[in-house]
Amino acid sequence: MSRSLLAPALAVIWLALSSGAAAQVALPAPPASPGVAVSVVGGLSAGSSASGAALGGAFTFDLNDRLALEATGTWLDRGAGSDALHLNVGLLVNLLPPGSRAVPYVAVGGGLYRASFALDNNRFFGLMGPQYAAGTPMVPILGTPGFGMMGGGGYYGPGGMMGAWDPRTQGTWPGQTFDLDDMPMFYANRLGPMTVPENGMWATRSFTDPAITFGGGVTASLGEHLFVRPDVRALVVFGDGDSHTLGLMSFSFGYRF
């Protein structure tokens, strides 16, 4: 290239680079000082029997630069005829120092999980119809999602009281069974002895149990106040010496004060 063209070419390159740099507007870094934040949460819950949407909200209070206290309330769709409410208080531990635009974290918490089942839904006892007469006794068969249906001469426990059937000590249930394949055994075995109601009018049953969560995610700053937070956690529910595990995958959009 001749000397006469070199200077204009360099000037054009310098101008292009300067214009490109000027066009890039950097987002302000997230605040490094402790604060509070609120966020809306949406996502998916998945378990052994069903999966569905999860919707809720969260309140976060920074204890210091690395630790934050989080309180959440989440409604979970567990398929037709079933839903749940999860209340949780936990600790978030940031794995990077404050001021970073994307901060990974681990989370652990505990709270309550309330699951409700509309038993007359076709996923549960709604399909029974007139198959069994009203007043027919039925007992949970432990370790299975099934109920033993009693006819004449059915099983009764000590003192004539109807109780659960335990295949480990009593062998195979000798009569007819009705299976609740769409209800986790964690709940089906806890329904207890029942009788077939008149006109198929089964009640709604709810269970409130302690639960823990653990997992993690990433807090990504969108500016001085706004942030997004993808998050994955395991939710473990405990009751009657047993446990039930769900997976929670969520995405939060929040505002930091």
Shared domain check, 232 and 212: yes
In the structure, what pLDDT confidence band is assigned to residue 97 with cuts at 50, 70 and 90?
Answer: confident
pLDDT in tens, 40-95: 999 999 887 788 999 999 999 999 989 999 999 999 999 999 999 999 999 999 99
User: Cα–Cα distance between 46 and 235 in angstroms, integer?
Assistant: 10
- Kindly state whether residues 113 and 41 are assigned to the same domain: yes
pLDDT of 155 reads: 59
Confidence of residue 11 (pLDDT cuts 50, 70, 90): very low
Q: How far apart are CA 180 and CA 124, in angstroms?
A: 6
Q: Do 247 and 222 fall into the same domain?
A: yes
Q: Report the predicted TM-score, pTM, of the whole model to 2 decimal places.
A: 0.80
Which is more confident, 201 or 27?
201
- Of 180, 202, 224, the residue that ends a domain is 202
Among 202, 218, 235, residue at a domain's last position: 202
Inform me whether the pLDDT recorded for 22 exceeds 60.
no
| Cα 153 from Cα 167, distance rounded (Å) | 18
Contacts of 239 (CB under 8 A, 6+ apart): 186, 190, 207, 209, 210
Residue 4 located in a structural domain: no
Q: How far is CA 75 from CA 13, 40, 83, 139, in A?
A: 56, 12, 7, 31
Higher pLDDT, 156 or 148: 148
**Cα separations (Å) of 236 from 38, 186, 218, 242?**
25, 12, 22, 10
Q: What is the pLDDT of residue 214?
A: 97
Residue 73 and residue 91 share a domain: yes
Query: Among residues 144, 186, 151, 136, which one has the least CA distance to residue 165?
Result: 144
Of the residues 184, 202, 220, which one is the last residue of a structural domain?
202
> Does residue 19 lie in a domain region?
no
- Name the band, by pLDDT with cuts 50, 70 and 90, for residue 10: very low
Is residue 97, in this structure, part of any structural domain at all? Answer: yes
155 part of a folded domain: yes
- Alpha carbons 103 and 139: distance in angstroms, whole number: 51
Rounded CA-CA distance 244/250 in Å is 19
Domain that holds residue 229: 36-118+207-256
114 and 212 share one domain: yes
Tell me the C-alpha distance between 106 and 127, whole Å. 44
Give me the torsion for CA of 176, 181, 186, 188, rounded to 10°. -40
Exposure class string for 32-61: b at 16+ Cβ within 10 A, else e: eeeeebebebebebebebbbbebebebebe
Residue 243 pLDDT grade (very low, low, confident, very high; cuts 50, 70, 90):
very high
Write down the mean pLDDT value for the chain: 84
* CATH code, domain carrying 73: 2.40.160.20
Please tell me the distance from the alpha carbon of residue 78 to that of residue 183, in angstroms, as a whole number: 10
Q: Decide: helix, strand or coil at residue 83.
A: strand
What is the count of structural domains for the chain?
2
Say if CB 121 and CB 81 are below 8 A apart.
yes
